[in-house]
Structures are given as C-alpha cells and as structure tokens.
Amino acid sequence: MNIGILLKEGPYNHQASDTAFKFAEAAIKKGHHVDAVFLYNDGVTNVTKLMDPPQDDRNIAARWSELSQKHDVEILACIAASKRRGISDDVLVEGSVITGLGTLTDIAIRNERLVTFGD
C-alpha cells in the first residue's frame, strides 16, 4: 500500500511527531511504501537544523532526515507555514524541501491512504 502522511504539530510539545515517525517506520517494516510526509502548520518545525536537543533526548529532525535518505521518503514542508515561522531552505535538514500546499493534494491523489497526525 502507498501511504502519505500529514503532520501538523511541532516536535517535543505534542506526541504527534513521535507517533507519525513510528507509524512511518512500522509501515515500511511491514512492506508498505511511505511516499511522502507533508509538514503543515507547526509541523514544519520538525525538520529544522536549528533544534539542538540534549544528548539524552531524541533528535526528531535527524530522525526525519534519516528516514528520507534511508527509505526514499519525501519530506515536504509547506511554504506558507514555513514563511510564517521564519523557516527557509537553508535551515532544513538534509532530505527535506519546502513546497506549495498543492503538493499535499498531489500526495492525497497518488496514494491509497493519507494519514494525519496532529490537530
């Protein structure tokens, strides 16, 4: 099954980021294809190089970057949400890009499921 993910919450202040990541890992492990993760609203902050968590904490941005590189998953940040939060291409982790909201429609059309995490 081809799956798209929509993540609408930021890291560390809501369980949605961790749950979306674990869902993507589990789906891939079960043989499904995770096509793309679209980050919207505060979700765009999940992939910035600006986060610097303590050594004993998980690095959510690094997780998404690794997932992208290891499993060829597109990590896409909404341009409008990014601009509102002062995020540009140069602060994104490897494997993620800024794109338009129309891309979310494309993800919903080309995949069998679009799973949403966050409010």
Give me the pLDDT at residue 101, please.
95
Catalytic residue among 3, 51, 67, 78: 78
For residue range 39-98, what is the model confidence (pLDDT) as tens digits?
999 999 999 999 999 999 999 999 999 999 999 999 999 999 999 999 999 999 999 999
- In the three-class reduction of DSSP (H, G, I as helix; E, B as strand; rest coil), residue 41 is classed as helix
Q: What angle do CA 1, 16, 75 make, to 5 degrees?
A: 55
CA separation for the pair 53, 110 (Å, rounded): 35
Q: Which residue has the tokens 């993540």?
A: 7
For residue 78, give the amino acid letter.
Answer: C
- Active site annotation includes 78: yes
Which fold is adopted by the domain 2-117?
Hypothetical Protein Ychn; Chain: A, (3.40.1260)
Tokens found for residue 30: 């079960």
Segments making up each domain of the chain, as ranges: 2-117
